[in-house]
Amino acid sequence: MSSANSFPESMINIIGEQVAKELQQMRKIEAQLAEARKRHQFLSELNTFLKKDWPQHILALLNKESQTIKTIDADNQALKETLDSIRSSAVEKVAVLQRRFPAFLDEACKAGNLPLDRESRDPQYTFAKGFFTLLIDYQKGRARLSDYEGRLHEFPSDIGAVVEHVQSEYKRVFGKIFDGQKFLKKLRTHYLAIIKKEGLADGSELPIRRITTRLGKNEKGFRTDEFIVQLSRLVAEGPVEIDNRRVDLQQTKDSQQGIYLHGLAGRGYIGYIMFKEVK
């Protein structure tokens, strides 16, 4: 196209300048939207914790979102004063909570039908015959929940949060229907697959963690702590025989390689599994 038919430079410049202005405006609005989203997320979480009466969560959130609170302070004096009041009230509630934590927890566990072990001693509590351990750090206002296989959750140590986490984990680990025959067959199948791959004879000793590792790779959603409970029930309830062979579990002193069965005091750590021929 010849220069005679080109659009005038002035038109192009005006539109080009407007494109740049619109881009600048768009970026400004996007930044404002991002800030609004952060404020909304913060206030939504705060609202939830207020309704649940979780002062430790409230203080943790207020400390974490100090920068977001500064942007709110600049825009809304009434909200700033409310947030200050919330912080003061939360500090007072936390002082009471920490002073009476053992009594509050005991009461909440009874109300929630949670299996808090009688042997529990503040600041360390156990549930379900020692399967779950709750450790309270009063200085940090944190709770750590773990089980035989390690840490599960760490969170601000409000009683309601403790109850929610323990109930959820208890249901996950202990709430599944146990089918002994099906579980034994699964054990046998994975045992046979491993010894075949390694050229071992049926009846050979295998580290129990070899079974759990294989299950972890082949079974969606597999969790070792759930496996431990299922294996514990198999030992306690049976059946223990399949294909004319009896499952046999051998102990180990190596707590890292072994697994600790639940509710079977005195058995120690199980390190190896084999299927002995029934004669």
- pLDDT tens sequence for the chain (279 residues): 446 678 889 999 999 999 999 999 999 999 989 988 999 999 999 999 999 999 999 999 999 999 888 888 677 888 889 999 999 999 999 999 999 999 999 999 999 998 899 999 999 999 999 999 999 999 999 999 999 899 999 999 999 999 999 999 999 999 989 999 999 999 999 999 999 999 999 989 999 999 999 999 999 999 999 999 999 999 999 899 999 999 999 988 887 888 988 887 667 789 999 999 887
In the numeric block, which tokens belong to residue 123? 């600041």
Half-sphere exposure of residue 158: CA atoms within 13 angstroms, side-chain side: 19
CA distance 63 to 211: 45
- Note the pLDDT of residue 170: 95
CA distance 62 to 143: 18
CA distance 55 to 63: 12
Q: What pTM, to 2 d.p., does this model score?
A: 0.84
CA distances from 149 to 177, 219, 240, 258 (A): 21, 18, 24, 11
CA distance 90 to 59: 7
Instruction: Report yes or no: 101 and 136 within 8 Å, Cβ to Cβ.
Output: yes
CA distance 37 to 25: 18
Instruction: Report yes or no: 120 and 126 within 8 Å, Cβ to Cβ.
Output: yes
